[in-house]
Amino acid sequence: MRVIIIGAGTGGLCLAHGLKKAGVDVALFERDRTPRSMLIGFRVGISPDGSKALHSCLPPEVFAEFVRTTARPVRRINMRT
């Protein structure tokens, strides 16, 4: 069986890794031509359950990179008027 995944966002990439881990042939397609074109200035929130799902699907080195690049919680906010 071959599965085609449209969209290389967090969900699509995690699904691709999980299916590959299960021995399924996967083709992943993304509309953006380069990873740099996706840098548009927003962040994605991932719940503790989502983090557990990523941990179970991703290869250890990829999950380690996810943890390494995760933003730390904000401790304070400075505002100027």
pLDDT recorded at residue 32: 75
Name the token pair of 2. 């071959």
Provide the whole-model pTM: 0.65
The string of pLDDT tens digits covering residues 20-35 is: 999 999 999 988 776 6
Strand pairing category for 2-6 and 25-29: parallel
Q: Please identify which residue in the block is written with the tokens 């943890």.
A: 67
Q: Please identify which residue in the block is written with the tokens 């397609």.
A: 29
Strand partners, 29: 6
The string of pLDDT tens digits covering residues 68-81 is: 888 777 677 777 77
Domain assignments of the chain as residue spans, ordered by start: 2-33+43-68
